[in-house]
Amino acid sequence: MGGAIAWPLAAFHQTLISKLIIVNAAHPSCFTRAIKTSSTQRAKSQYISALIDKGAERTLTNTSFTLLKNMLGNGFFEKETSYSRTLLNDWGKPETLSAMLNYYRQMPQQVPQKNVSEKVLDDIRVPEIFIHCPTLLLWGEQDDAFDLSVLDKIEHYVPLIIKRFNPHASHWLHREKPEWVQKEVINFIGL
């Protein structure tokens, strides 16, 4: 979720950010373009519809948070850790769960159904959000949430971008390949 906030922060408050690092988070303009042009991306983004549904809190609670568990990866909850216990405990608090879902409910780019009409797709406007600081994009190629189409034409919006791909990681690149991420970050910031 942090990347979805970091992109517009860097775009609209450029004096605050001298370098930007993004880990598997689609640029808002590229994401919107992808949901217009890629049925694969629309399919991968359908989880958002489930999270913004009016009955999402009840559904998630009644299914023991299966959707959220699947989003974080099957193996994450197989071995019980203090972090996984904390997540389950927090999700069980109605006010915490609603706050988390409200994040998705406030997203400006709502996702249409996979096989929506051309008319609906034509009505989607791609925002023009530009990032002018040096940006490092780290990407796990096995991402279940994003099709690589979300990276199409990113250089138009982020001309100073450096893209690094890890073919063996998913959306949770920072958890799965922390040493690789650390090395790329250190190289980028120049330590």
Q: Which of 126, 169, 130 is closest to 31 using CA atoms? A: 126
- What mean pLDDT comes out for the span 48-60? 93
How big is the chain by its Cα radius of gyration, in Å?
Answer: 17
- Supply the pLDDT for residue 114: 81
Q: Which of 93, 6, 92, 110 is closest to 51 using CA atoms? A: 110
Cα–Cα dist 33/27, whole Å? 10
DSSP 108: S
- Supply the pLDDT for residue 191: 63
Mean pLDDT, the chain, rounded, equals 91
- Name the percent of the chain lying above pLDDT 70: 98
Cα–Cα dist 131/27, whole Å? 10
Cα–Cα dist 7/62, whole Å? 34
Q: Letter for the amino acid at 164?
A: R
> Does pTM top 0.85 for this prediction?
yes
78 confidence band (pLDDT: 50, 70, 90): confident
Q: Is the pLDDT of residue 57 over 90?
A: yes
Question: Is residue 129 a contact partner of residue 13, using CB atoms and an 8 Å limit?
Answer: no
23 confidence band (pLDDT: 50, 70, 90): very high
Q: Is the pLDDT of residue 164 over 70?
A: yes
Q: Letter for the amino acid at 20?
A: L
* Helix or strand (DSSP H, E) at 23: strand 20-23
